[in-house]
Every structure is written in C-alpha cells, then in structure tokens.
Amino acid sequence: MNNIQKSYDELPYISAAFPGTSPARLEALASFLSLTPPPSKTAKVLEIGCSYGGNLFPFAIANPQAKVLGIDLSEVQINKAKELAAQMRVDNIKFMAKDICDFTDADVSDYSKFDYIICHGVYSWVPNMVKDAILKTIKRFLSPNGVAYVSYNTYPGWKIKDTIRDFLIFGTRDIDSETAKVAKARELLKVLGEYAKFCQKDGNVSQVWVNFDSLKFHIDHILTTADSYIAHEYLEAFNNPIYFRHFIDHLTENNLAYLAEVGLEDVFQSNLGLEEFDSYINANFNSRIEREQILDFLTNRVFRSSMIVHKEIFPSDFSVNIGVDELCKLHISTGFNKTKDGYVDAKNALMKPDYDWLYQVFTDVYPASVNFADVAALLKDDENAVKSAYFGFMEILAADCAKLTTYERPKIVYEAGKSRLKERARGYFEYFSTTGEPVIKIADELNVPANFSQFDAFIALKFNGKNSLENIVKQTVKFARERNLEFAGKNGEAIKTVSKNEYQKAAEDYVKDLELKLSDGGFLENF
C-alpha cells in the first residue's frame, strides 16, 4: 500500500468529476428502475478514493443540505483538498486521509450511514484485501435504500491491454522516479507500435501481432493521454481487471446486489440486436447476469460502471419493465443540433428521425428539463402523439445523451437585480479564475465536465446580480483587449475581427454563450 501512496503523491491525477457518479443521477436511475432511493439534495455521500475532491465539490456546492465525506490514502491530496474546501468556502464537505481497510464507525460518527457511496477508479487498482474492504465498507455503511457506484476494468477487453501493461512494466522495472518511468513508457510504446506495424509490411504478418489493429488502436490512444494516466493505469503495482461474473460473485459474498450500469446500456442494449445470435444467447444463458457476461465476451468489453444496492431490497425476480410510471419519475435535460442529416446529440451522434419534433421540444427549452407527464398532458387528445413521445423519450435515454434528475431543472436567464451566479459557487469560480494550473477540473452541478477557461471563470464572476449584461460585455471587451485575446466560435476556432464593431459583436456573442453555459451548469440562481 505504501507503493500505491507514493506513486499518487509523486504523480497525482488532476481530480476530475464523472457524470455517472453524481448522486442526483444515481437517485434518478434507481427511481427509474422502481427503487426508492434517498433524496440526493439532502443525502450523506461518501467517496472512496476522492483525490483532491474534484468529483465531490460540484455536488457539495449545489446541495447545501447534503453532507459529503471524501477519503483517500494520499495525505498530499487530502491536505490539498482540505485547503481547497476552505479557500472555496464549501462548508458541507470534509476530507480524511484514510486506508479503507482501517475505516471504522468512529470515522463516520458525524454521518452514521451514507445514502450514496462512490468508488470510481479504485476497485481494479488495489490488492484483493482492499477490494474486499471496499465492498465490506459499502455493506456496512450504505443506508438501507442507498445506492453505491463502483467502476472497474473488465475482461476480456483488457486482455490485450494486459500485454501492453506487462511490456511497459518490464521495460521500466529498474526506474524509480514516476516521471522517468512514464517517459520511458512512452518511448517503449512508440517502439512497440512501430514494430507491430513493420511486421505487417509485404504480407509478412507476425504471428505475435495477429491482433495488430486492436494493439495499434490502444497504443495510439495511450500515447495521447496524460502522464498520470499512464503511470496509474499501466505502471502501477496493481491493476487487476475482473470478469463481470466474478464481480457479481464478490457482491454476493458481501450480501450486495447488482442493479444496472449508470449508462443504462444493459437496459437499452441488453442484446446484440442480431436475431440469430440473440435467440441463441436467450436459449443457452438463463439469467440476466449470465447474459451480461456473454455480451461482455462478444463485445470485448473493457470497463464497467455499476450501481449496487443491498441484497435485502433487491427483488429476487428483478426485471427491467419500463412503463409510463417509471418514465414520469425522470426530469430530462438535453439539447440537439439540427444538421442536414437530421438531429444530432451532444456527442454528435445521429438520432432516429422518427422523433424530430420531440428533439426540437427539448432544444427549445434547454437547459430546462422536460418531464414525460407534462408532455403527455399537453398531447392527451392525441393518443398517437403520446405514444410517439413515449418512444422518443426512450430513444433519448438509450442514447445516454441527457442529464437525469428526479426534480425539475429550470432555465434561469441572467437579469441584474433578479438573478446571479450562485453565492455558493463564487469561491469555486474564484479558484479557477486565479489558478493557472488547477488540481481539480471544473464541472457542473451534475458532475458533467464544464468547458470553462480561466478567462471564462473570471468573467462568470461578473454575473453578480448587479452588473447588467451590457456592463458585462463592456468589462469583457476591456479585459480581452488588454490581454490581446480573440474570441472563439462554437467550433473552437478564433473569430477573426478587424473592426471595433466586429470585436464588440464577438464579445456580445461570447457573453451570451457564457450565460447559457452558466444556466446549463446550474450555476445561476434567482434572488
């Protein structure tokens, strides 16, 4: 364990937020799947392996009545997290340097039980005794109707990545410094990739690299990642992927149950969509768990993000039956872009054209949420339209392109004297506006990464409820000109401005886009 602590102290991750871990999303998904989870807005939340707290701060800031605790083995990261909490004035979050194997009742005397327990990027990267401690902690401290989240690398997809990892560990075995190890690993990756490519020349295919395309794909991806990712994903002493069925066995040993994946792919993509193969799977694999495992084999799955609950509350005959009542529990926020080929989601994936009218409804009210019951009430005189809306909602959920909550999310428009940047979020934006190399990444109230630059964070602070939008534009022009900055368009490219009027227009568009980003992220409040 000391080696793990040393590596994270020497080369820590920048602490990011992950949408799937959001207690608000976990609450929504569990409700959607017919459970009765605790309200996230007043929840007690624990994160195991919290790093600098980047995954906890957005939730704690957005939910002042919640109580949040983060623990991590690294004292360096925990001390920095405590410093950030004080600097950003987040008063409902605490951090503790703790080995999960030594986690006791005394450590949680202020919490007793937790409604949501998060463990992202830890389970596969620790020895078996720690894996066991993680699940025992979940069993012991998860509230009766609570939901836990655990992510882990999976076989068979990790088999070829294991080969790459073993190669890199061998090639860096005599190097002590984490930074030097990563530099050597990058060199080795390039050599391995070039050699594999060489073996493909003139039809002289090396028997070693029959999976050349897959190998090259992974090598190319690894080379684009940060040093910290290479260090902790490929050079750590522990990275033990697991078959899904073995993870389920471990849950069963601890009297826990698997609910679903946070992306709902096991709900909406529960088969291959190929009748010949799906009928064979259904005939030969009886349980939901067996079918999930066979699909992992057939799709070469590399990673899972699973929701876990107490076995006592999980029906033995659990099956996913999504009707109108379940759908009505969700408030869904998403927007679409209309292209010549049809509507595309935020990931630029083309949506089915059958529900174009519904995509436009979502886009018109975005970032406000939409509830199926409200849409159905408006369409009650047209049964076919209600059916179309139902299937359109399901299509959006299946695409995993939306923010999900059990409560309404409003669209707040900035207006001086009426709305402002949330007071609780000011310290968060102050940190990002004054820190050139932040150790956490900015995210919105639902843990979705938010694309705010340092300059964006600085201008966001001008949305204080006192400045008019016109004044914010003036200040933006002033500060941007002083720094010789050009504004970027939606495609990320700099907008070329020649005249003063063009620059003014670019600034106005920038402030308008920033206002929408603040509203979308839940950063604005009426007062």
Query: Which H or E run contains 523?
Result: none
State the DSSP code for 243.
Answer: -
Compute the half-sphere exposure of residue 101: CA atoms within 13 Å on the CB side of its CA. Answer: 10
- Residue 476 CA to residue 504 CA, distance in Å, equals 9
**Mind listing the pLDDT tens digit for each residue in 150-197?**
999 999 999 989 999 999 999 999 998 899 999 999 999 999 888 877
Q: What pLDDT score was predicted for residue 8?
A: 55
Query: Which H or E run contains 63?
Result: none
Contact 461, 421 (CB under 8 A): yes
List Cβ neighbours of 210 (8 Å cut-off, separation of 6 or more): none
- Residue 20 CA to residue 25 CA, distance in Å, equals 7
My answer on whether omega of the bond before 367 falls inside 30° of 0, hence cis, is: yes
Sketch the domain layout of the chain as residue ranges. 2-156+241-313, 161-234, 330-405, 419-526
Contact 444, 506 (CB under 8 A): no
Contact 147, 309 (CB under 8 A): yes
- Residue 313 CA to residue 317 CA, distance in Å, equals 12
Using the structure block, give the residue that is written with the tokens 């793990």: 4
Give the residue among 497, 501, 479 at the shortest CA–CA distance from 488. Answer: 497
Region 127-137: mean pLDDT is 97
Euclidean distance between the first and final Cα of the chain, in Å? 49
State the DSSP code for 51.
Answer: T
- Residue 1 CA to residue 126 CA, distance in Å, equals 8
Quick check: 292 pLDDT over 60? yes
Q: SS3 sequence, 288-330?
A: HHHHHHHHHHHHCCCEEEEEEEEHHHCCCCCCCCCCHHHHCCC
What is the dihedral angle through the alpha carbons of 277, 278, 282, 287, rounded to the nearest 10 degrees?
110
Contact 11, 228 (CB under 8 A): yes
Instruction: Find residue 309's DSSP bridge partners.
Output: 257
- Which CATH architecture describes the domain 2-156+241-313? 3-Layer(aba) Sandwich (3.40)
Quick check: 1 pLDDT over 70? no
Q: Is 440 helix (H, G, I), strand (E, B) or coil?
A: strand
pLDDT band at 497 (very low <50, low <70, confident <90, very high): confident
With pLDDT > 70 as the criterion, what percentage of the chain qualifies?
95
pLDDT band at 404 (very low <50, low <70, confident <90, very high): very high
- Residue 79 CA to residue 66 CA, distance in Å, equals 22
Quick check: 235 pLDDT over 90? yes
Give the residue among 221, 220, 211, 121 at the shortest CA–CA distance from 159. Answer: 211
Give the residue among 141, 176, 154, 212 at the shortest CA–CA distance from 6. Answer: 176
Region 410-424: mean pLDDT is 97
Contact 148, 288 (CB under 8 A): no
Least confident of 10-19, 36-45, 326-335, 462-471: 10-19
Give the residue among 200, 173, 198 at the shortest CA–CA distance from 185. Answer: 173
Q: Which long-range contacts (CB under 8 A, 24 or more apart) does 125-128 make?
A: 125/4, 125/232, 125/236, 125/238, 125/239, 125/240, 126/4, 126/238, 127/1, 127/238, 128/240
pLDDT band at 125 (very low <50, low <70, confident <90, very high): very high
Q: What pLDDT score was predicted for residue 201?
A: 66
**Mind listing the pLDDT tens digit for each residue in 312-365?**
998 777 777 788 999 999 999 999 999 999 999 988 999 999 999 999 999 999
- Number of helices and strands (H, E) in the chain? 21, 14
